[in-house]
Amino acid sequence: MIPSVDRVDVLLSQDELNERISALGAEITARYRGRDLTLVGILKGSALFLTDLMRAIALPLQIDFLELSSYKGGMASTGSVRLVKDLTHSIEGKDVIIVEDIVDTGLTLRYLLQTLATRKPASLATATLLDKPSGRVEGADCDLDFVGFTIPGHFVVGYGLDLAGYFRNLPYVGIYHPEEDS
Ligand code: IMP
């Protein structure tokens, strides 16, 4: 069944997203001047954040993508992470920022940091649009270098984030309220 947008309440408006992402871009620009920057977007959720963030960074940079799966289309984590699509270029010697949509349990990011560290980047940092610290599981505490917004433990959709593949195209981030009986 196609989920209804009537069940979504705006949490972060388009204007709030734009303003915060401009500030993150300026922060990254100041910190990465003179470095060889690669943004690694995690598909599919980070697609909108990555394309807006890269336009807010006033530096030469490259982008690449990885696809993982940790959720099986629902609202609960499966707890295991699988690599679905790997990078197309080497990141050896590059200053890499992993670009995520949201950090919840932290398991995806822990997997990414461990996997990408073995590929000898010059540096490895993390940027996430949303941080949901209440979801963090033991052993998956990770340092986040750039955070857009820290949010409460709701299931959110929009601006790249999905429920069963839907809602990624909403221009805002909203809280999804499930049906009473689901
Ligand atoms: P983690 O491994 O639990 O930190 O989850 C990371 C991934 O789970 C994110 O990249 C999202 O794809 C997905 N996820 C976690 N919380 C939400 C949510 O509230 N809405 C949509 N997707 C989510």
> Would residue 72 count as lying in a domain?
yes
Pocket test for ligand 1, best of 43, 104, 159 (most atoms within 8 A of CB): 104
> Would residue 65 count as lying in a domain?
yes
> For residue 40, what are the β-bridge partners?
64, 98
> Would residue 158 count as lying in a domain?
no
Query: How many angstroms separate the alpha carbon of residue 105 from the centre of ligand 1?
Result: 8
> Would residue 173 count as lying in a domain?
no
Number of other residues whose CB lies within 10 A of the CB of residue 173: 27
> Would residue 36 count as lying in a domain?
yes
Residue 107 sits in a domain of what CATH number?
3.40.50.2020
With a cut of 60, say whether residue 170 has pLDDT above it.
yes
Cα–Cα distance measured from residue 81 to residue 61, given in angstroms and rounded to the nearest whole number = 28
Ligand 1 pocket (Cβ < 6 Å) reads 45, 70-71, 77, 100-108, 155-157, 161
Query: How many angstroms separate the alpha carbon of residue 150 from the centre of ligand 1?
Result: 14
> Would residue 1 count as lying in a domain?
no
Structurally, the chain folds into a number of domains equal to: 1
Expressed as residue numbers, the domain containing 42 is 13-152
User: Distance from first CA to last CA of the chain, Å, rounded?
Assistant: 13
Q: Is residue 42 classed exposed, middle or buried when 0-12, 13-18 and 19+ CB atoms within 10 A define those classes?
A: buried
> Would residue 71 count as lying in a domain?
yes
Catalytic position from the list 52, 95, 104, 162: 104
Which ligand 1 atom minimizes the distance to the CA of 111? 2
Query: How many angstroms separate the alpha carbon of residue 151 from the centre of ligand 1?
Result: 12
pLDDT digits (tens, 9 = 90+) for 115-164: 999 999 999 999 999 999 999 998 878 889 999 999 999 999 999 999 99
Catalytic site residue 36? no
pLDDT band, residue 12 (cuts 50/70/90): very high
Whether the Cβ atoms of residue 179 and residue 8 lie closer than 8 Å to each other: no
- Give the phi and the psi of residue 43 in degrees, each rounded to 5: -75, 150
Please give the average per-residue pLDDT across 92-111, as a whole number. Answer: 96
> Would residue 3 count as lying in a domain?
no
Number of other residues whose CB lies within 10 A of the CB of residue 151: 18
Protein residue closest via CA to atom 11 of ligand 1:
102
